[in-house]
Structure 1
Amino acid sequence: MPYWDNARFACIVLVVLGHAIQRLTYDSDIAYALYLLVYAFHMPAFAIISGYFSKSDPPSRRQMARIITDILVPYIVFELLWWVTKSVVEGDVEPNLTQPSWTLWFLLALGIFRLVLPYLALLRWPLAWTVVISVGAGYLPNVDSTFSLSRTLGFLPFFALGWWLRERDVVDRLRLLERKAWWARVAAVAVFALAAWAAWGGLAGWHEMDMRNWLFYDQDYAALIGEAPWWAGGVRLALMAVAVVLCAAFFVLVPRGRFAFTPLGTYTMYVYLLHSFVLYPLRESGVLRGLDPTWLWLPVMCALSVAIAVLLASRPVRWLFRPLIEPRSRWLFADPGVLPRAGASDPTGSRRPPSTARHRP
């Protein structure tokens, strides 16, 4: 269905955009407001999509093999690449697979999401339990970035929400993907306008409470505010509610038809894993600091983000980097028959059409 590929591509563009403008936020309030708006919902939306295409049945041997081939092996490969990169640029850096580098946390989160989903599905009120887990994890200082556990637990409710929507057939029963009423699109635009106004109008407060780090879901409350008062979990709960509303508005605005960029939505993992290497020189060299005027450079960075996403999802780039992102892992398995025979899938949920799928023996 083109809709979901469009949504995936829009999400990955937002991921690139958020990372591309990060350095601009130190010198520009407008960039910081846009950064907060993007981070308020783009990873929750990605988690919802991933959950929507996940199954809660006990995994088959082939599905278990996919976690290894599509998530664990690329994670190790790119962690090693980041170790080499940072060693060359920053000096002596010890490799540490327990601390995901930059964007790689989401790979581990996807693997953990899929491992725990069959157990969550056994519970009554699974969504409520994931909210309790997410909010409660913030009170525990030992739940940190090791194996991306803090972010995994933080974003778990959004993944579970996506699964719940599919499990309860909510999208089809309410015909949410059919032609949308004009008022729904107007309401969605109004939601984003209100969120943008809040991001811009409350900048002083957002700076004071270090809102960007709240949106990362990767630190406990004491690290964010110096202590962990009883009401700290309410802040995360409020941010989760805001994220759900913004995600709903986002999904309303995603077009349903097929466009030139639609096929690129099935290759989001190429963009996700590679774009950080493209942006790393720009971020570390300092060329993105002090760019003025903002009204010129911020749109330039937005356009560059789209261009990077399109380029990294293109056929030549996929051909070149497929051995790293989709390594042939037959040698790992005692029974190579557990490997899928065709139709490779993106870990975020998309399944490639047979005409473009790479055959795996």
Structure 2
Amino acid sequence: MSAPSPATGSVARHRRRVPYWDNARFACIVLVVLGHAIQRLTYDSDIAYAMYLVIYAFHMPAFAIISGYFSKADPPSRRQMARVITDILVPYVIFEALWWLTKGLFEGDPDPNLTQPSWTLWFLLALGIFRLILPYLALLRWPLLWTVVISIGVGYLPNVDSTFSLARTLGFLPFFALGWWLRAHDVVGRLRLLERKAWWARASAVAVFLLAGWAAWAGLETWHGMDMRNWLFYDQDYSHFLGETPWWAGGVRLLLMAVAVVLCAAFFVIVPRGEFPFTRLGTYTMYIYLLHSFVLYPFRESGALRDLEPTWIWLPLVCLLSVVITVLLASKPVRWLFRPLVEPRSRWLFADAALLPHAGGADPTGSRRPAATDRPPSRG
């Protein structure tokens, strides 16, 4: 029997499931839930605010890097185009409708407007836009440089705002492009970045986060004055923070992007390489991402997370509850119940049923998984 060709071996390597990426997805989604959970605590607790700043400095850039790593820059096939509809656009419309209903019931102001994503839904639109423009970016020389220019430049344009989440999408575009670039140039493979790291590498990564935490804590007065939390959302033009738009305003975003890359690098070093009980949960990040906001909504809007003292009890408790919420939302019963909303088949939309994704498939972040075992029973 002849040995497999290098190309065949390369394909096999890429198709083999690597627990590391599921671990990274799970860690990212825990940080998403945690960041949203402690948001109300930041009004009354300086340490919660410092923690919030560190999380928001890198967790969505890390998610965008992972999504970009598993994205292809080839012109999309008909099946891939259909996946944009089934995995992104249809869930977006479904969950926007759920938010209109929720706001109508509890706030009396549903404000139905598909052009203004509700809370966490901006990232679904961002993923869709990322996928649409990546083939064009890949045609350019220095694509990463162009995305940085776009991200910085969009901050000078007040007319690019939250409509279709365009400001935020273009703001985070460099991180998505960076993930794609790392895969396209096999940087992870050539530098053996998925191999177990030496203790000093992990210690250095931990030191980076300790330094970030110290900087967030020591500069609290400055960060409050700058409205730093909103800078990290990448969704406002510079005049929103500075009252005007000085020429150097883009330098602030560039610096924040550099900080994000350093923290993301440290994060990816710390993520464990092996397989753990939580590893498989990393394949269901979209369930957690789309559903957790409904779980947190009553706590945030009722004021239950305000004026909680002492912080040293409540902050760790909220952190623990965030992990519990994350695990529960990725559990099999929850997936079984909400699969028609999170992963709608949308058969009626397509003239060609062959375009529908295969069982198992992948979520919008590129997380591939085996054929689903948690589907609702067939109705024949």
The bucket for the TM-score relative to the shorter chain is over 0.9
> What secondary structure, in the 3-state scheme, does the structure 1 residue paired with 2:157 have?
coil
User: Counterpart of 1:35 in structure 2: which amino acid?
Assistant: Y
Deviation at 1:94, TM superposition (A): 2.4
Counterpart-to-counterpart distance in 2, 1:314 and 1:232: 44
Deviation at 1:93, TM superposition (A): 2.5
Query: 1:9 maps to what in 2?
Result: 26
Measured against aligned partners, the alpha-carbon deviations of 1:136-172 in whole angstroms (never above 9, x if no partner) come to 0000000100000000000000000000000000000
Query: 2:246 maps to what in 1?
Result: 229
Given candidates 184, 189, 197, the residue that maps to 1:180 is: 197
Given candidates 307, 310, 330, the residue that maps to 2:324 is: 307
- Given that 2:154 and 2:167 are in contact with CA atoms closer than 8 Å, whether structure 1 keeps it comes out as yes
> What secondary structure, in the 3-state scheme, does the structure 2 residue paired with 1:41 have?
helix
Measured against aligned partners, the alpha-carbon deviations of 1:95-132 in whole angstroms (never above 9, x if no partner) come to 00000000000000000000000000000000000000
- Given that 2:38 and 2:48 are in contact with CA atoms closer than 8 Å, whether structure 1 keeps it comes out as yes
Query: 1:32 maps to what in 2?
Result: 49
Counterpart-to-counterpart distance in 2, 1:120 and 1:355: 34
Given candidates 322, 334, 340, the residue that maps to 2:357 is: 340
Distance 1:358 1:164, change over 3 A: farther
Given candidates 71, 95, 113, the residue that maps to 1:78 is: 95
User: TM-score, normalising length from structure 1?
Assistant: 0.98
Distance 1:230 1:127, change over 3 A: same
Q: Pairwise mapping of residues 38-117 of structure 1 onto structure 2 (< 5 A)?
A: 38-117=55-134
Counterpart-to-counterpart distance in 1, 2:276 and 2:372: 18
Measured against aligned partners, the alpha-carbon deviations of 1:180-230 in whole angstroms (never above 9, x if no partner) come to 111110110110010000000000000000000000000000012211100
Query: 1:249 maps to what in 2?
Result: 266
Query: 2:13 maps to what in 1?
Result: none
Deviation at 1:342, TM superposition (A): 2.6
Q: Pairwise mapping of residues 264-343 of structure 1 onto structure 2 (< 5 A)?
A: 264-343=281-360
Query: 1:205 maps to what in 2?
Result: 222
Counterpart-to-counterpart distance in 1, 2:375 and 2:262: 38
Counterpart-to-counterpart distance in 2, 1:191 and 1:235: 20
> What secondary structure, in the 3-state scheme, does the structure 2 residue paired with 1:235 have?
helix
Residue 157, structure 1, aligned to residue 204, structure 2: no
Counterpart-to-counterpart distance in 2, 1:54 and 1:47: 11
Deviation at 1:339, TM superposition (A): 1.1
Deviation at 1:92, TM superposition (A): 3.1
Q: Percent identity?
A: 82
> What secondary structure, in the 3-state scheme, does the structure 2 residue paired with 1:216 have?
coil
Deviation at 1:335, TM superposition (A): 1.1
Given candidates 30, 34, 37, the residue that maps to 1:20 is: 37
User: Counterpart of 1:263 in structure 2: which amino acid?
Assistant: R
Deviation at 1:60, TM superposition (A): 0.3
- Given that 1:47 and 1:159 are in contact with CA atoms closer than 8 Å, whether structure 2 keeps it comes out as yes
- Given that 2:64 and 2:179 are in contact with CA atoms closer than 8 Å, whether structure 1 keeps it comes out as yes
Greater mean deviation of Cα atoms: 88-97 or 200-209: 88-97
Number of aligned residue pairs: give it: 361
Counterpart-to-counterpart distance in 1, 2:330 and 2:364: 15
- Where does the alignment leave 5 or more consecutive residues of structure 2 unmatched? 1-17
User: Counterpart of 1:333 in structure 2: which amino acid?
Assistant: F
Counterpart-to-counterpart distance in 1, 2:213 and 2:357: 44
Greater mean deviation of Cα atoms: 177-186 or 271-280: 177-186
Measured against aligned partners, the alpha-carbon deviations of 1:43-100 in whole angstroms (never above 9, x if no partner) come to 0000000000000000000000000000000000000000000011111322000000
Query: 2:8 maps to what in 1?
Result: none
- Given that 2:335 and 2:374 are in contact with CA atoms closer than 8 Å, whether structure 1 keeps it comes out as no
Counterpart-to-counterpart distance in 1, 2:184 and 2:23: 22
- Given that 1:9 and 1:262 are in contact with CA atoms closer than 8 Å, whether structure 2 keeps it comes out as yes
Counterpart-to-counterpart distance in 2, 1:135 and 1:356: 44
What's the C-alpha RMSD, in Å, of the aligned pairs?
1.4
- Given that 2:336 and 2:374 are in contact with CA atoms closer than 8 Å, whether structure 1 keeps it comes out as no
Counterpart-to-counterpart distance in 2, 1:211 and 1:355: 42
- Where does the alignment leave 5 or more consecutive residues of structure 1 unmatched? none
